[in-house]
Amino acid sequence: MTVVTSDLIRQFDVSGPRYTSYPTADRFVEAFGQDDYILALQQRRIGSNAKALPLSLYVHVPFCESLCYYCACNKIITKHPERAEAYLRYLSREIDLHTEHCGVIQHVSQLHIGGGTPTFLTDEGLQDLMSMIRRSFVLVPDGEYSIEIDPRTVDNDRLAFLRQLGFNRLSFGVQDFDPEVQKAVHRIQPAEQVFRLVEEARRIGFHSVNVDLIYGLPRQTPESFDRTLAQVCELRPDRIALYAYAHLPERFKPQRRIVTDELPLPAAKVAMLARSLEVFQNAEYVYVGMDHFALPDDSLAVAKRQGRLHRNFQGYSTQPDCDLIGLGVSAIGKVGATYSQNAKTLDEYYDTINRGRLPIVRGLALSRDDLLRRSVIMALMCQGELVFESIEQAWLIDFESYFAAELEQLQAMDEQGLVQLHEDRIEVTPMGWHFVRGVAMVFDRYLQGNRNRERFSRII
């Protein structure tokens, strides 16, 4: 078992990107608009066989019935289901605008419905959403089709309906099983409810169940979080995502309802993380990278062993690196060497579509240096190894000259046992996997000073 010391955790308790993309979304500019995005879609359509390059789709459903105080997602709190009905009509129109430029026979190997709360939609709404997707795209038989679940919004019948619609993966938002913590963040959901739903999901044939946890929430203590960890190990989901709570009330208004004095002190957060790593490793979970764990036979753990991991805006993925179309308010996409993001408010999203335009409000066309550094960062984040020759042949550079400053910075990490520097490659050690964001940050050209770093969440 890899032992992560408290000293290392404290050293890397700094802000930094999650690298679901490089460059990161804070580099997007408003100068990139609809015309740039359409050009990327058209180049994809002209330059390749649609069946040879499958797509990934992300659909954002922003609605929630109640407010979780820790939440930093783009969401709309409402108890009026008719708002979702109107939203689905605009989603349908956005899909039609896309297919005008990329065609209607595009094959999709990965679909993720996120939010907000996707299960805010009624059964009829979910069926309409899947019908409009299938009308314009071909969902391949062996694809990954996932949806985020608020346990308070589903029962056994709804799970069966989701399976019938074609979803084969579920992600349950748990955060913490402790009743006092749930009260402090305004999200009450008994552990027994989650256990029943996960058991039913397995019975009816979902391929994988993920559970999200957050440490650093108000009223959490290392002892209370120990109890949650024990319950999660008993639940034994296929995957676990363990996130550090980032308290940024100046940026996210709901967090202003959290009582600051009830937040755990930094030492307690360090203890919670260290204990989590130990518990999950003892429970035989594979540490995939960053804050993700998976059972040894889960496809994510298998992909890591076989060197087939990838990253996109949904995090680690087993699917080959492919273009991503983001649908809905605030959704982010990646097509070719471009990133793009939709309007962040419903009014702007609706208004743009009413004018017959795609709701792109900002994005980025990647430079050669961006693409080069993206390949380096993703190799480290996904494979944990970077072979200089592969980069040199792909980009026609001398690696040691181009990245001389970065290699010098990595010397300290080599001495700490986080990476191993060889003449021809860089390897991330088992210890280094716990701090792989910090390793990747060395190659981020845009992180030039603390001012930029403070825009991001904490690494641990």
**Domain of residue 165, CATH code:** 3.80.30.20
Say yes or no: 236 and 301 in one domain: yes
Report if residue 352 sits inside a domain: no
Judgement on whether residues 320 and 373 belong to the same structural domain of the protein: no
In a domain, 281, yes or no: yes
Among 265, 296, 324, residue at a domain's last position: 324
Residue 342, domain member (yes or no): no
Domain boundaries, position 399? 367-445
Residue with tokens 């700094």: 14
- Residue 331 within any structural domain of the chain: no
Number of domains in the chain: 2
Same domain, 130 and 206: yes
Same domain, 281 and 372: no
Question: Do residue 381 and residue 270 come from a single domain?
Answer: no
Helix (H) / strand (E) element for 436: namely helix 436-441
Are both 145 and 236 inside the same structural domain?
yes
122 and 61 together in one domain: yes
Report the C-alpha gap between 174 and 210 in whole angstroms: 10
| Cis? peptide before 23, omega within 30° of 0 | yes
Q: Which of 306, 324, 342 is the last residue of a domain?
A: 324
Whichever domain contains 382, its CATH number is 1.10.10.920
Domain boundary among 292, 324, 356: 324
User: Which residues is 242 bridged to in the sheet?
Assistant: 213
What pLDDT is recorded for position 237?
98
CA distance 13 to 7: 10
Query: Both tokens of residue 174?
Result: 């748990």
Name the strands in the sheet holding 385-387, side by side, starting at the edge strand that comes first in the sequence.
Answer: 385-387, 425-428, 419-421
Whether residue 333 contacts residue 312, with contact meaning beta carbons closer than 8 Å, is answered with no
**Predicted pLDDT of residue 451:** 47
pTM, whole model, 2 decimals? 0.90
pLDDT of residue 452: 53
In our burial notation (b when 16+ CB lie closer than 10 A, e otherwise), range 171-183 reads: bbbbbbbbeebbe
Q: Is the peptide bond before 116 cis (omega within 30 degrees of 0)?
A: yes
Instruction: Please give the C-alpha separations between residue 42 and each of 36, 54, 99, in angstroms, as whole numbers.
Output: 10, 15, 10
Assess whether 252 and 318 both reside in one domain. Answer: yes
Task: Give me the residue label for tokens 């913590």.
Answer: 181
pLDDT of residue 168: 96
Query: How many whole angstroms separate alpha carbon 206 and alpha carbon 247?
Result: 34
If asked whether residues 275 and 408 sit together in one domain, one would say: no
SS3 19: coil
Contacts of 162 (CB under 8 A, 6+ apart): 126, 147, 154, 170
- Residue set of the binding site for [4Fe-4S] cluster: 64, 68, 71
Does residue 242 lie in a domain region? Answer: yes
Does 156 share its domain with 263? Answer: yes
> What CA–CA distance (Å, rounded) separates 188 from 203?
25
Asked if 9 and 274 count as a contact pair (C-beta separation under 8 A), the reply is yes
Q: Which two tokens stand for residue 147?
A: 């949806």
Known binding positions for S-adenosyl-L-methionine: 58, 70-72, 115-117, 148, 175, 187, 212, 246, 332
CA distance 137 to 116: 24
For residue 304, give the amino acid letter: K
Note whether residue 450 is domain-resident: no
Rounded to whole angstroms, how far apart are CA atoms 424 and 389? Answer: 7
Residues of the chain with pLDDT under 70: 1-6, 13, 15, 47-52, 448-460
pLDDT for 383 equals: 86
What is each CA distance from 318 to 13, 322, 383, 398, 406, in whole angstroms? 28, 11, 12, 30, 29
Asked if the structure places residue 289 within a domain, the reply is yes
Using CB atoms within 10 Å of the CB of residue 42, give its burial: 0 to 12 exposed, 13 to 18 middle, 19+ buried. Answer: middle
Q: How far from 35 is each of 23, 322, 323, 351, 361, CA to CA, in Å?
A: 21, 21, 18, 17, 11
Q: Are 303 and 397 found together in one domain?
A: no
358: Cα separation from own chain's centroid: 24
User: What residues does 342 pair with on adjacent strands?
Assistant: 360
Q: Are residues 286 and 157 in the same domain?
A: yes
List residues forming the annotated binding site.
58, 64, 68, 70-72, 115-117, 148, 175, 187, 212, 246, 332
> Per-residue b/e over 258-267, b at no fewer than 16 CB within 10 Å?
beeeebbeee
Is 215 inside a domain boundary? yes
